[in-house]
Amino acid sequence: MKEREDRSMKQMKKWLALLMMAVMCIGLMAGCGSASGGGTGKKETDVSKMPVVKFMAATAGVSDNLEAVEAAINKILAEKYGIQCELMFEGFGSYSQQLNLMLTSQGEVDVFYVGGGPSTYVNNGMIYDITDLWANASEEFKSIFPDAYIEANMVGDKLYAIPSNINFSNEILVHANKAMIDEMGIEIDDEKIWTLDEIHDLVVKAMDKYPDVYGIAPQSGGTLIAQLNWESLGDSYNIGVVEDRGASREVISITDCKEYIEFSKTMREWYQEGLIMQDVLSTTESWSTLIPSGRAFCCFDAGAYPNGMTTDASTYYNLTIYPNWSAANCAVRLGWGIAGNTEHPEAAFTLLQAFYTDSEICNLLSWGIEGENYVVNDAGKAALPEGVALDQNTWTLGFASNWALPNMMGARLSYASVDGEYDRLKAYDASAEISGCMGVVFNSSNVADQYTACINAYNKYYQAILAGVIDTEDGIAQYKAELATAGEADIIAEKQAQINAKYGN
């Protein structure tokens, strides 16, 4: 009896083991499903023959209402343009990784958001040459941008990307805590240009009154201020720069740049006075949390927009220290391109054109479905529907990061915007000083080995010197020596050659 029980127990164990193995085998395959569907309205015969363009963008917003928005856009696309689309949105953190993976296989993505200019994508063969397509584009599309901004997206004599329609100039300013200034009873003129001495006195006053508050917080984690008025040709590592907003077109080492040295010396004094957050290099907190919560008084911002347009005017005074200018790379910071391995480039370009010029589509992309995701208020602006808070809304691309769409200005304004914001932005750009090297965007592929070595030196010294954490003169001497051994001269020569290629010697 007991033996029989034992045997059946053994049998059962065997079967269980087999079952488990089968389950594990199936589990292995779990990730292998193909994502079919997605494209809507495929049942109708005529629509099913239209090419489906896959559009991928980065966003800080929510895109849960994707099905409805995609269906609405596809309806317009089918009627007017004879194409269909499939929309994909990724968070900024994971976007570039996801994009790289998708670009390695054909048919995964056709139109995508290009960050930092097309040259890296061209080097790697990831992006399609759209020179001819642009030549045949509609006049409405072409008229959105000045030629210089389109040319900036060329590599050699071929065009690879269209810039996003945003502002093309920035100023350098100080965001200061409005509540603290008002409490101290200081009158602020935020229309004038402030000097560093005036900023210094203001911070000293604030720190006398609020000793437990950080005087100057970093612009972002580990960065006091990204850069000043030197032109780096879109190279965020600032290896080889042109002084005075690119005026001279002569590339020099950052360690010879007068503005870098002088500003660093001032910051060194401020740091030793305790005005700058002592942990500036190691903190990961940014001013946008520190200032509103009353833990910091102010911060620098090197990529700021016009007064009161992007920062909440009830929280900050924005004190301009250098008025706005358009850097050489201003037109390539955000742009749109077509995948190098796309199957239907014409359809992809048609989609891009529609996303820039069709205001109905622009509104759908920004604000979602009217009545469900937004309502139009009395001023004609997009507002949240009654009873729907921002965090409950199923489509917040426009509210969260409309600048990351092809043409935010094609859609209506947000309720939080000032009247005529886009006209003001255009006027602001028109008033900007233009970089002497406009349109030259550094392509590092010829000097990649030296460049990687220089990046290492940059990581060590650039911010430490600029934020005043280490002695300016010692720091610059060491930085200079390390850049020299890393091959900085080759990079300077390469940058100079790229400027000369566009502007002559």
Partner 1 sequence: MKQTTKKKTKKLKRYIPLYFMLIPGTIYLIINNYIPMAGLVLAFKKFNYQDGMWKSPWNGLKNFKFLFTGNDAMIIIRNTIGYNLVFIVFGTALAITVAILLNAVMSQRAKKAYQTLILIPYLISIVIVSYIGFAFMSQESGFLNKSVFTENPIQWYATPKLWPFILIFIHLWKNFGYNSIIYYATIIGIDPTLFEAAEIDGASKWQQILHITLPSLKTTIITLTLLSIGRIFYSDFGLFYQVPMNSGLLLDVTNTIDTYVYRALLTMNDVGRSSAAGFLQSILGFIIVWLTNQLVKKVDKDNALF
Interacting residues toward partner 1 by CB under 8 A: 14, 17-18, 20-21, 24-25, 27-28, 96, 100, 103-104, 116, 120-121, 124-126, 214, 222, 236, 277-279, 281-284, 340-341, 444, 448-464, 469-470, 482, 485-487
Report in angstroms how near the CB of residue 108 gets to partner 1 at its nearest: 11
Alpha helices in 124-193 (DSSP H): 131-135, 139-142, 147-151, 178-184
Reported as half-sphere exposure (CB side, CA atoms, 13 A), residue 342 has a value of 24
Q: Among residues 400 and 455, whose Cβ is nearest to partner 1?
A: 455
Report in angstroms how near the CB of residue 262 gets to partner 1 at its nearest: 21
Report in angstroms how near the CB of residue 314 gets to partner 1 at its nearest: 28
Report in angstroms how near the CB of residue 114 gets to partner 1 at its nearest: 12
Report in angstroms how near the CB of residue 346 gets to partner 1 at its nearest: 18
Q: Which is it for the CA torsion 152, 157, 162, 165, positive or negative? A: positive
Report in angstroms how near the CB of residue 505 gets to partner 1 at its nearest: 29
Q: Which two tokens stand for residue 100?
A: 């790289």
Q: Are residues 178 and 314 in contact, defined by beta-carbon separation less than 8 angstroms?
A: yes
Report in angstroms how near the CB of residue 249 gets to partner 1 at its nearest: 24
Q: How many CB atoms lie within 10 A of CB 286?
A: 16
Q: Are residues 62 and 399 in contact, defined by beta-carbon separation less than 8 angstroms?
A: no
Q: Among residues 1 and 24, whose Cβ is nearest to partner 1?
A: 24
Q: Among residues 204 and 281, whose Cβ is nearest to partner 1?
A: 281
Integer Cα distance of 273 and 264 in angstroms: 14
Is residue 258 helix, strand or coil?
helix
Q: Among residues 65 and 120, whose Cβ is nearest to partner 1?
A: 120
Q: Among residues 351 and 454, whose Cβ is nearest to partner 1?
A: 454
Integer Cα distance of 331 and 337 in angstroms: 13
Q: Among residues 302 and 383, whose Cβ is nearest to partner 1?
A: 302
Report in angstroms how near the CB of residue 14 gets to partner 1 at its nearest: 5
Q: Among residues 21 and 427, whose Cβ is nearest to partner 1?
A: 21
Q: Among residues 144 and 455, whose Cβ is nearest to partner 1?
A: 455
Q: Among residues 234 and 436, whose Cβ is nearest to partner 1?
A: 234
Q: Are residues 80 and 358 in contact, defined by beta-carbon separation less than 8 angstroms?
A: yes
Report in angstroms how near the CB of residue 176 gets to partner 1 at its nearest: 20
Q: Among residues 124 and 131, whose Cβ is nearest to partner 1?
A: 124
Q: How many CB atoms lie within 10 A of CB 35?
A: 7
Report in angstroms how near the CB of residue 230 gets to partner 1 at its nearest: 19
Query: What is the separation of C-alpha 302 from the centre of its chain, rounded to a whole number of angstroms?
Result: 14
Three-state SS annotation for 2-62: HHHHHHHHHHHHHHHHHHHHHHHHHHHHHHHCCCCCCCCCCCCHHHHCCCEEEEEEECCCC
Q: Hunting for tokens 């391995």 — which residue is that?
A: 341
Q: Among residues 298 and 409, whose Cβ is nearest to partner 1?
A: 298
Integer Cα distance of 348 and 137 in angstroms: 12
Q: How many CB atoms lie within 10 A of CB 191?
A: 8
Report in angstroms how near the CB of residue 469 gets to partner 1 at its nearest: 6
Query: What is the b/e burial string over 450-488, where b = at least 16 CB atoms within 10 angstroms of the residue's CB?
Result: bbebbbebbeebbbbbbbbbbbbeebbebbbebbeebbb
Q: Which two tokens stand for residue 294?
A: 């009353």
Integer Cα distance of 156 and 367 in angstroms: 37
